[in-house]
């Protein structure tokens, strides 16, 4: 019954989305205002129903209902409960259901909470949200029904893949999804604003908290994904520029640009067309990235991974939504383009440079990700990796950092460069000092060296907006900006320090042999077999001492799973405040020696702490904005009340 209930809820939600679309569109016609009363309730009910459908799927997985095909394919009665639940979204159909659920819930929340926009714009926005949702409902119901029953119930599920039983993996995809799909709100806001020609500061203020929310999830998701790849793959790297990572980075870049241009629009009524454009692009990147990964076009070698039917379905959806929004943009942009003017040396000017740099990086990542496809159309097989992405994106990343240091110090509209010269000179001085120190100490590569010097200068510059303020009375959004910018500087420092000063040793060691790696002496004490619930492993016992101190034990493993057959290298990490020792156990050489791969990675953890700080900054800004809005509403309500009282 639960499956039928879920399917029914899904159909009803789709029907409501259709109603919401039709009613919302009619409202835009001259005589359609009467339809407006049903749009908001429809949006809220649609959110509730899709949440019920997703709840039904969770329940099916919780009960391991083996008459449902999806459960059979992806679950097993012996799985721990948490992984049974994670199995619900860890597959194509379930993740698509999660996608529409998040989209419908976001739409419902917008309908429930958002009161700042003109009603017509609001209705157009909700209609757009319903229009986008409708396509994905159709996709689910016609080609990826998660509630499909088997003609004969299976005896046992098939999803006991031990590799997938990882708590990080269970929650990483949904975190990213919240970010991807949250961007749909920005998309709908942009379409609504273009339809009603209301690209105003109010539009930017209304859209900003939603974008912030989605952006926080994206930031956390990317940070967590990077750390996972770092410890799980055993290659010592933390970012590999593979399409899966790029698919999450591209919407993040667009959303970051959007946040900044929205603040210009909100504060100064400038960059109207550009902000609307970014609103469309941010969600487009979410959809394109997900599509590229999901359709198997980029990641797969095997023809069977590309399912032309589903791939074409999603491509058609993309063409309708993105193509439609961009056409609307092309037709309307001319009428909304002219905003307030500003000088080059102003906060707006700096934010424009930031936006240009972010867009350039976005373009570079997108081109690099698509290039193998492009080359293949001409019969050439290539892959694109760090040798392309690192230097080319750095060319635009470095000026963006400089502007990040300068921009927050500038005033809106117009400012004089002379006013902010003293603090900037101080920062530049610090950068030069650091640079000189690095060169004296033995220069690493050019880019890492620049990175460390810039990180120091930008880190300090990012704190400057707090100068001369009472810290307790500083508005939360300003705190958010400062912390997020500082987080970026910290991440840059971690990445640069890692690439400049990492020490790597690859040895075949006898039992008892001591290997030096950076400041560590690592002794291979023993290699013993050990076993877990569904694997056996060889576990090395390493006794590592930092600068001759007391030894700390690290136990990297080489694990063999048997269902399905799979080997993984479990790296061992020893974390100190100033870096990590990273150890991987390889195979046994014929003469009884063991392959060990050891890294000392100074300050590498700053990368992820920086990422978390960026997300924390976003969270503070979000809290500040929502709180400000609530207070504004309370004041308005009081004024209205007083008017009523006076009128009596």
Whichever of 177 and 493 has its CB closer to another protein, that residue is 177
- Minimum distance of another protein from residue 269's CB (angstroms): 14
- Minimum distance of another protein from residue 175's CB (angstroms): 11
Whichever of 24 and 90 has its CB closer to another protein, that residue is 90
Tell me how far apart the alpha carbons of residues 446 and 453 are, in angstroms, rounded to a whole number.
11
Query: Inter-axis angle of helices 386-406 and 421-441, to 10 degrees?
Result: 140
Can you tell me which residue has the tokens 């953890």? 605
Whichever of 402 and 456 has its CB closer to another protein, that residue is 402
- Minimum distance of another protein from residue 218's CB (angstroms): 14
HSE, side-chain direction, 13 A CA sphere, residue 424: 14
Is the separation of the CB atoms in 282 and 359 below 8 Å? no
Tell me how far apart the alpha carbons of residues 157 and 67 are, in angstroms, rounded to a whole number.
10
- Minimum distance of another protein from residue 586's CB (angstroms): 3
Neighbours of 134 (CB within 10 A): 18
Tell me how far apart the alpha carbons of residues 362 and 36 are, in angstroms, rounded to a whole number.
39
Q: Decide the pairing of beta strands 520-531 and 594-602.
A: unpaired
Is the separation of the CB atoms in 449 and 435 below 8 Å? yes
Query: Inter-axis angle of helices 201-233 and 167-195, to 10 degrees?
Result: 160
Whichever of 63 and 299 has its CB closer to another protein, that residue is 299
Whichever of 11 and 171 has its CB closer to another protein, that residue is 171
Record the tokens describing residue 435, joined without a space.
């640079």
Whichever of 309 and 645 has its CB closer to another protein, that residue is 309
Whichever of 284 and 462 has its CB closer to another protein, that residue is 284
Q: Decide the pairing of beta strands 565-570 and 572-576.
A: unpaired
Is the separation of the CB atoms in 600 and 518 below 8 Å? yes
Can you tell me which residue has the tokens 């077999």? 529
- Minimum distance of another protein from residue 447's CB (angstroms): 14
- Minimum distance of another protein from residue 296's CB (angstroms): 6
- Minimum distance of another protein from residue 358's CB (angstroms): 11
For residue 552, what are the β-bridge partners? 544
Whichever of 307 and 629 has its CB closer to another protein, that residue is 307
- Minimum distance of another protein from residue 554's CB (angstroms): 16
Record the tokens describing residue 312, joined without a space.
């074409």
- Minimum distance of another protein from residue 88's CB (angstroms): 12
Tell me how far apart the alpha carbons of residues 596 and 425 are, in angstroms, rounded to a whole number.
47
Whichever of 5 and 388 has its CB closer to another protein, that residue is 388
- Minimum distance of another protein from residue 518's CB (angstroms): 19
Distances 421 to 280, 289, 410, 429 between C-alpha atoms, Å: 37, 42, 11, 12
Tell me how far apart the alpha carbons of residues 161 and 74 are, in angstroms, rounded to a whole number.
9
HSE, side-chain direction, 13 A CA sphere, residue 619: 10
- Minimum distance of another protein from residue 366's CB (angstroms): 9
Whichever of 48 and 170 has its CB closer to another protein, that residue is 170
Tell me how far apart the alpha carbons of residues 548 and 460 are, in angstroms, rounded to a whole number.
35
Q: Minimal CA–CA distance to 358: which of 282, 265, 257, 279?
A: 257
- Minimum distance of another protein from residue 137's CB (angstroms): 19
Tell me how far apart the alpha carbons of residues 523 and 525 are, in angstroms, rounded to a whole number.
6
Whichever of 17 and 72 has its CB closer to another protein, that residue is 72
Tell me how far apart the alpha carbons of residues 98 and 176 are, in angstroms, rounded to a whole number.
11
User: Is 417 exposed, middle or buried, given 0-12, 13-18 or 19+ CB atoms closer than 10 A?
Assistant: exposed
Tell me how far apart the alpha carbons of residues 592 and 512 are, in angstroms, rounded to a whole number.
12
Q: Decide the pairing of beta strands 535-546 and 552-554.
A: antiparallel
- Minimum distance of another protein from residue 336's CB (angstroms): 10
Helix (H) or strand (E) holding 515, with range, is strand 514-517
Whichever of 11 and 240 has its CB closer to another protein, that residue is 240
Question: The dihedral of CA 187, 193, 197, 200: what is its sign?
Answer: negative
Whichever of 237 and 423 has its CB closer to another protein, that residue is 237
Whichever of 141 and 508 has its CB closer to another protein, that residue is 508
- Minimum distance of another protein from residue 256's CB (angstroms): 16
**Helix, strand, or coil (residue 256):** helix
Neighbours of 637 (CB within 10 A): 10
């Amino acid at each position: 019954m639960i499956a039928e209930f879920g399917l029914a809820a899904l159909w009803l939600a789709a029907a409501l989305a259709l109603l919401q679309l039709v009613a919302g569109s009619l409202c835009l016609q001259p005589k359609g205002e009467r339809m407006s009363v049903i749009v908001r309730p429809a949006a809220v009910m649609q959110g509730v129903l899709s949440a019920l459908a997703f709840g039904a799927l969770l329940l099916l997985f919780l009960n391991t209902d083996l008459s449902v095909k999806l459960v059979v394919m992806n679950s097993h009665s012996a799985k721990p409960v948490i992984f049974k639940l994670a199995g619900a979204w860890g597959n194509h159909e379930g993740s698509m259901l999660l996608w529409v659920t998040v989209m419908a819930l976001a739409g419902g929340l917008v309908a429930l909470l958002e009161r700042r926009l003109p009603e017509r714009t609001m209705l157009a926005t909700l209609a757009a949200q319903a229009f986008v949702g409708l396509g994905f409902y159709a996709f689910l119901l016609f080609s990826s029904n998660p509630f499909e029953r088997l003609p004969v119930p299976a005896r046992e599920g098939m999803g006991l893949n031990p590799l997938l039983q990882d708590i990080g993996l269970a929650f990483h995809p949904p975190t990213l999804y919240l970010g991807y799909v949250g961007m749909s709100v920005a998309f709908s806001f942009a379409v609504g604003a273009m339809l009603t020609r209301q690209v105003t500061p109010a539009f930017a203020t209304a859209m900003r908290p939603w974008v912030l929310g989605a952006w926080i999830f994206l930031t956390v998701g990317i940070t967590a994904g990077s750390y996972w790849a770092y410890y799980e793959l055993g290659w010592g790297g933390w970012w590999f520029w593979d399409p899966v990572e790029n698919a999450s980075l591209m919407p993040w870049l667009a959303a970051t640009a959007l946040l900044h241009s929205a603040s210009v629009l909100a504060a100064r009524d400038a960059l109207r067309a550009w902000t609307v454009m970014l609103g469309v692009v941010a969600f487009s990147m979410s959809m394109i990235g997900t599509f590229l990964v999901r359709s198997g076009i980029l990641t797969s070698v095997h023809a069977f991974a590309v399912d032309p039917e589903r791939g074409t379905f999603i491509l058609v959806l993309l063409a309708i939504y993105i193509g439609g929004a961009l056409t609307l943009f092309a037709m309307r942009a001319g009428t909304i383009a002219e905003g307030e003017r500003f000088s080059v040396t102003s906060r707006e000017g700096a934010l424009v440079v930031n936006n240009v740099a972010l867009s350039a990086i976005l373009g570079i990542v997108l081109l690099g990700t698509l290039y193998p496809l492009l080359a293949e159309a001409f019969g050439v097989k290539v892959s694109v990796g760090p040798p392309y992405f690192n230097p080319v994106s750095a060319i635009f990343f470095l000026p963006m950092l400089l502007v990040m240091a300068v921009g927050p110090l500038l005033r809106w509209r117009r400012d004089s460069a002379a006013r902010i010269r003293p603090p900037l000179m101080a920062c530049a001085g610090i950068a030069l000092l650091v640079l000189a120190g690095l060169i004296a100490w033995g220069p690493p590569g050019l880019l890492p060296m620049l990175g460390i010097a810039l990180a120091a200068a930008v880190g300090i510059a990012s704190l400057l907006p707090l100068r001369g303020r009472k810290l307790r009375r500083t508005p939360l959004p300003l705190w958010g900006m400062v912390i997020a910018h500082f987080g970026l500087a910290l991440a840059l420092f971690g990445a640069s320090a890692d690439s400049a000063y990492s020490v790597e040793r690859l040895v075949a060691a006898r039992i008892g042999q001591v290997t030096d790696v950076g400041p560590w002496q690592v002794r291979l004490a023993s290699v013993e077999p050990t076993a877990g619930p569904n694997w056996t492993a060889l576990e090395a016992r390493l006794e590592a001492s930092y600068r001759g101190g007391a030894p700390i034990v690290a136990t990297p493993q080489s694990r063999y799973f048997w269902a399905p057959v799979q080997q993984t290298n479990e790296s061992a990490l020893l974390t100190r405040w100033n870096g990590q020792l990273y150890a991987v156990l390889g195979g046994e050489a014929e003469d009884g020696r063991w392959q060990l791969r050891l890294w000392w990675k100074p300050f590498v953890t700053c990368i992820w702490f920086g990422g978390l700080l960026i997300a924390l900054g976003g969270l503070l800004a979000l809290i500040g904005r929502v709180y400000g809005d609530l207070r504004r509403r309370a004041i308005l309500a009081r004024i209205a009340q007083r008017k009523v009282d006076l009128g009596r």
